[in-house]
Chain A
Amino acid sequence: MSGFAKPLKIALGLIVIAGLIAIPMNFNRYGLFILSQWAVMTIAAMGLNLTLGYAGQVSLAQGAFVGIGAYASAIMTTHGWPLPAAIVVAIVLAFAVGWVLGYPALRVQHHYLAFVTLAFSTLAFLVFRNESWLTGGIYGISNIPRPHFFGIATTKPLPFYYVCLGSLAIVSLAIWWLIRSPWGRAFMALRENPLRAQSLGIDTRRYTLMAFAIGSALGGVAGALYAPLTQYIDPVPFNLSLSLDLLMMVIVGGAGFYFGPFLGAMIAVLLPEWLRFTEGYYLMLYAIAVMGLLVWSPTGILGILDRYVAERRTKAASALRAVAKSRLETAQ
């Protein structure tokens, strides 16, 4: 059975990727914007999934890192720098700030950490709003240019969608590699049992800081893409509710599952669109759906799948056992 599973998975993956490339060609402006937004939010949620799902550190500041990346990218590109350079700066900046924010994580855990990061999130919002010499204050920054790659302008929605999708692909591969590397294993050891991890010789200090910093850096990447996507930024989208939304995406999709953020971001970005026909009720329905899902399966959507697969495996195993037993009996 497992001989089939792998090619099947690869085929399924290829179909999804082909679909993501081909289908949007017929989409209108708005559809492309929503899909690009999904790609960007998935990147940010993947970063948070690394911090929360793999390393077990609760952060309510991911939205602030998206903001840091967005402002870095907006300020640099409106001053004539190319987007890739801005992305690099966004990564470095978010990584450094994330590293510093990781220090409280060494001292306090769980809900206390959630509140430190919550406070940081609010502080970052105040800086975006009040330092108008840098960020334009409440008026924000407009006319953020979209980049040229190899002489091709990505000003139109479709090419820029491919920029977002390509960035998502690069980030996905990087994370895929990371969680299978000794680093990823160390993160998971940290989540499961910090004391045991330490006794196994894992430098918990360094890995906690790393988990925070890498997760934050991905938030920075998402922000750096968000700015040219919307072409206008002000402080409002980066307030605390973005951090809460991203946290919800990770948990709803399934924290600690590789594909969790893809699903979570899809639900958070697309579900309100699908529910738009209900007019003012869509966010309410979304909230009810999230609560219902969490009551039903606190490990998120992939948690349901995981349980189902595990159940089938035990059923299959006990069926095999029964067959083997009856064969033994008939042989005797």
Chain B
Amino acid sequence: MSNLFDLLVAGLATGAIYALVAVGFTLLWQTSQTINFAQGEFVMLPAFLMLAAMHVGAPFWLAIILGILLSMILLGLAFKMLLVDPMMRHGVLPLAIATMALAIGIKEAVKQFFSAEASPFPSIVPTGDITVLGHVVSLQSIGVLVVAILAVFGLTTLLNRTSLGHQMQAAAQNPTVARIIGVPVERMILLTFLINAFLVALASLLITPIYLAKFSSGEVLGQAAFIAAIVGGFNQVRGAIAGGLLIGVLDNLAAAYISTQYRAAVPMIFLIAVILFRPQGLLGRAEERTV
């Protein structure tokens, strides 16, 4: 029993990070029909930006701020203006391919300018264990879970409770009508790109201490976030959150109870089943088709 509890906590902690990444992913899809195949690399890069800041002598807290700012400029602003905007009118596929190329570019740039080796990364949460309900749980898992939940909670509050959030949702759901009623759609789209950049920087900060900073670590993360987003529902923020947690837990349980060799297969089979039997995702709305 205690084993199951530990697995659940660890699964929820990684799941919460997947959720952060998946939420940004669905936001981009909703507002600009961008499928970002470089999302995993977007998570990998900020950790290296922070490490680079520390190499030139910045203290950890300053490195974090610089990393998040740089991430918002590079992965939010520049990504939108240099790649997404010029390609948006050409449809989903060429843009998706361009983000694949971007993923290769980021990976190679980090490998070349930084290191091909894995680097350790300081944790913002103190390491150590505490006892919860008679179980030993690592502080890191709890910390990751708490920060991720706070971020997601903040985001959903922004989206559902504030006027800015309502404008963002309107811009995502029906840009034409939103424009007519006076929503600055372009600015809202830019905002979602910035939010995505912030979320991936946060995810990077949370996950890198656990798995080390490595140029290739984006592949696995990006795929997990994809699966989370689709399983939960591509067009729903809460779907992406649920999907993230579900995939995190499923992955951990599969490794323990099914087979370590095929642990990666379990979320994949789950994904195929969801797409075939409920393509809109577990919590998603069916997209109306207009012919």
Contact = CB atoms under 8 A, between A and B. Distances in A.
Interface string B4-46: 0000000000000000000000000000000101000000000
A45 interface: no
A191 to B, nearest CB: 12
Contact of B100 (A248, A281, A298): A248
Contacts of B276: 104, 107-108, 116
B223 interface: yes
| Max chain A Cβ within 10 angstroms of own Cβ: one of B98, B261, B262, B265 | B98
A104 B275 contact: yes
Given A108-B276, A126-B261, A126-B264, A291 B226 contact: no
Contacts of B105: 283-284, 287-288, 291
Interface string B61-78: 000000000000000000
A247 B103 CA distance: 14
Contact of A290 (B101, B226, B261, B269): B101
Given A288-B105, A298-B91, A244 B275 contact: no
A298 B94 contact: yes
B276 to A, nearest CB: 6
B271 interface: yes
A294 interface: yes
B104 A286 contact: yes
A111 B279 CA distance: 11
Given A126-B265, A248-B97, A295-B86, A104 B272 contact: yes
Given A104-B275, A104-B276, A115-B226, A110 B92 contact: yes
Contacts of B161: none
Q: For chain B, which range describes its interface: under 10, 10 to 19, 20 to 34, or 35 or more residues?
A: 35 or more
B150 interface: no
Interface in B110-147: 111-112
A140 to B, nearest CB: 16
Given A110-B92, A248-B100, A298-B91, A119 B112 contact: no
Given A122-B223, A251-B93, A284-B109, A298 B87 contact: yes
A94 B173 CA distance: 41
A58 interface: yes
A120 interface: yes
B223 A291 contact: no
A294 B101 contact: yes
Nearest to B29: A111
**B interface: dominant SS:** helix
Interface in A117-162: 118-120, 122-123, 126, 129-130
Interface in A147-206: 195
Nearest to A193: B291
Given A281-B112, A284-B112, A291 B83 contact: yes
Nearest to A121: B268
A110 B93 CA distance: 9
B115 to A, nearest CB: 12
B53 to A, nearest CB: 22
B230 interface: yes
Contacts of A247: 97, 100
A20 B176 CA distance: 54
Contact of B98 (A111, A122, A284, A295): A295
B55 interface: no
Contact of A108 (B37, B90, B91, B279): B279
A256 B108 CA distance: 30
Given A115-B271, A123-B269, A251-B97, A287 B87 contact: no
A-B pairs, 10 with minimum CB distance: A287-B105, A298-B94, A298-B90, A290-B101, A119-B268, A284-B108, A287-B104, A283-B108, A130-B261, A280-B112
18 contacts: A58-B93, A108-B279, A116-B276, A118-B226, A119-B268, A123-B268, A126-B264, A126-B265, A130-B261, A130-B262, A244-B37, A244-B100, A251-B97, A283-B105, A284-B108, A286-B104, A294-B101, A295-B98
Interface of B: 35, 37, 82-83, 86-87, 90-98, 100-102, 104-105, 108-109, 111-112, 219, 223, 226-227, 230, 234, 261-262, 264-265, 268-269, 271-272, 275-276, 279, 291
Given A119-B269, A287-B105, 9 more contacts: A107-B279, A115-B230, A116-B272, A130-B262, A247-B100, A281-B112, A294-B95, A294-B101, A295-B83
